Amino acid sequence: MGGELVQHELIGPGGELTTNDRTTVAAAAAAVTEAKAAIMLAREFPRHEADVRQAIMASCKRPAFADGAEYRFPRGGSEVSGPSVKMARELARCWGNIQHGLEVIVDTPTTRKIRAYAWDVQTNARVIAEDEFAKKIQRKDKRTGQTFWVTPDERDLRELTNRRGAILVRNCILQLIPPDLIDAAREECQQTRLKDISQDPQAARNRIVDAFGELAIPASTIERKMGTPIQALSPKQVGELREIYQSIKDGNSTVSEHFAEPREEAETSGSALDRLAASRSKADKKPAPAKEKTSSGDKPRFAPHADVSLAREANQITQEEYDQLTTLPPPDQVAELQRLMER
């Protein structure tokens, strides 16, 4: 029965292959031929790991490359850093015999699912990662300061897909590169950045301020975050700011995760949990909708507001913040979410 099903899909009414089927068969055959050719070339020209290391170190000594080779963002009260999309692609280029890419596998009117891969043709190691996200982006009303979700146009959707896809591809590539080589590349990039900044500190400060200016982040906001005037930023601090800028540019984090508004900074000195608890204690007492308990000992939870669910799907808030938001009634969830997104 299974064979008959395949036959009906491939054979037309007159017993011939349909146009669509011929195209599918030809594409599959071309893909197989291309894969075989890549494997043969990899066997004929295998990588020489000592040469690879030299090539990577040479790239890491270039200030223009080292400048965007790492990202940094806050998570759970600490700083998380790692190799950027830019570094992963350069590592793949130097490592050689690696193919990587991205494809859309499911596309509905409201969601999109993408798949990234990296394939070491020489060792036949392959890594695949998938991501599904809502077709929504955030916009902020400059007059009211309110943040809201909108359906993106074609260009914004393409940028959203590419940004999330680039992170998937990066993660796939990094699983194929030896960890010690990644660590050595990061250390070399850090030394290159410090050396470059130390040669002309003022020029380096000006460049990073200009870069953040493109993101509509004023110098005064940078000074509040770093706790020092722009003119007094050390080479290490400038390097950290470069990593933050790269993180925002790659889509690993958002501006609001790094920089708080002035009026909020006085209110947000504690952790996210402390801020949520404080805001809840100040909230007016309202009739509570039906609650549910997830397990014994857990706090009562409300159904998440649609905006809260979308924010979590888009990684705009952490799981911890999501869990705390759902302890609030839906109207309070929206107000608290807006404050979290603007911090």
pLDDT in tens, 46-57: 999 999 999 999
- Total domains, the chain: 2
Contact 320, 312 (CB under 8 A): no
Asked whether residue 317 is assigned to any structural domain, the reply reads yes
How far is Cα 75 from Cα 80, in angstroms, rounded to an integer? 6
Last residue of a domain, one of 136, 151, 180: 180
Asked whether residue 78 is assigned to any structural domain, the reply reads yes
Q: Is the pLDDT of residue 282 over 50?
A: no
Asked whether residue 263 is assigned to any structural domain, the reply reads no
Burial (Cβ within 10 Å: 0-12, 13-18, ≥19) of residue 342:
middle
How far is Cα 333 from Cα 339, in angstroms, rounded to an integer? 10
Q: pLDDT-based confidence at 308, cuts 50/70/90?
A: confident
Last residue of a domain, one of 180, 198, 216: 180
Asked whether residue 116 is assigned to any structural domain, the reply reads yes
* Average pLDDT for the chain: 80
Q: Is the pLDDT of residue 298 over 60?
A: no
Asked whether residue 205 is assigned to any structural domain, the reply reads no
Q: Which helix (H) or strand (E) holds 212?
A: helix 201-213
Q: Is the pLDDT of residue 162 over 90?
A: yes
Domain assignment of residue 338, given as a range: 298-343
Of 97-101, 270-274, 326-330, where does the model show the most confidence? 97-101
Asked whether residue 72 is assigned to any structural domain, the reply reads yes
- The pTM of this model reads 0.64
Asked whether residue 143 is assigned to any structural domain, the reply reads yes
Last residue of a domain, one of 115, 147, 180: 180
Asked whether residue 215 is assigned to any structural domain, the reply reads no
Distant-in-sequence, close-in-space partners of 312: CB < 8 Å, separation ≥ 6: 304, 319, 322
Q: Is the pLDDT of residue 224 over 60?
A: yes
Q: Give the SS3 label for residue 185.
A: helix
How far is Cα 164 from Cα 265, in angstroms, rounded to an integer? 29
- Indicate the range of 75-89, 137-151, 156-170 predicted with least confidence: 137-151
